[in-house]
């Protein structure tokens, strides 16, 4: 079973899109195993966006993610990284397909509402940045046999 990190970024929180985003992911059939609202400090922002350090847009990413609360979540399913990325749509909302979160709700690449890990390896690293092991739940859902074959 794979896990991925999803962040409803400050613009999504400020626009009141948290419920819409969670609902879209739940309707895909993937399982929510951790959720919290938080303020990201400079240190966490630098660790999260570390791969972009030194690039011209790095400070803008840090400033934005620390500007307001966000909602951090962990979702679980087979191939969940791919499922979430498809549900979110292209990074630039102008290129995102209708029916995706960004395609339906976003208009600007700098305010694209949501972050999702881009690979299983990134997901492991990002989950560890935002959550402690005790914050992640392991539970059974009664509807799982109706979502995936055993």
Catalytic residues: 115
The answer on whether 112 is annotated among ligand-binding residues is yes
The answer on whether 66 is annotated among ligand-binding residues is no
Q: Which residues pair with 111 in a beta bridge?
A: 108
Q: Please state, in angstroms and rounded to a whole number, the distance separating the CA atoms of residues 52 and 22.
A: 27
The answer on whether 57 is annotated among ligand-binding residues is yes
Q: Please state, in angstroms and rounded to a whole number, the distance separating the CA atoms of residues 79 and 67.
A: 32
Is residue 32 exposed (0-12), middle (13-18) or buried (19+ Cβ within 10 Å)?
middle
The answer on whether 55 is annotated among ligand-binding residues is no
Going by the annotation, the residues of the binding site for ATP are 9, 57, 85, 91, 102, 112
């Amino acid at each position: 079973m794979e896990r991925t990190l999803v962040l409803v970024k400050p613009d999504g929180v400020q626009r009141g899109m948290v419920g819409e985003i969670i609902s879209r992911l739940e309707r895909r059939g993937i399982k929510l195993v951790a959720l919290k609202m938080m303020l990201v400090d400079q240190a966490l922002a630098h660790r999260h966006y570390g791969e972009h350090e030194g690039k011209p847009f790095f400070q803008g990413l840090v400033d934005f993610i620390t500007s307001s609360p966000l909602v951090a979540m962990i979702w679980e399913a087979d191939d969940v990284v791919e499922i979430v990325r498809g549900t979110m749509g292209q990074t630039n909302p102008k290129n995102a397909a209708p029916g995706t979160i960004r395609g339906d709700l976003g208009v600007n690449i700098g305010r694209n509402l949501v972050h999702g890990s881009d690979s299983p390896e990134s997901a492991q690293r990002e989950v560890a940045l935002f959550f402690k092991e005790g914050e992640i739940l392991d539970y059974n859902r009664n509807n799982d046999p109706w979502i995936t074959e055993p």
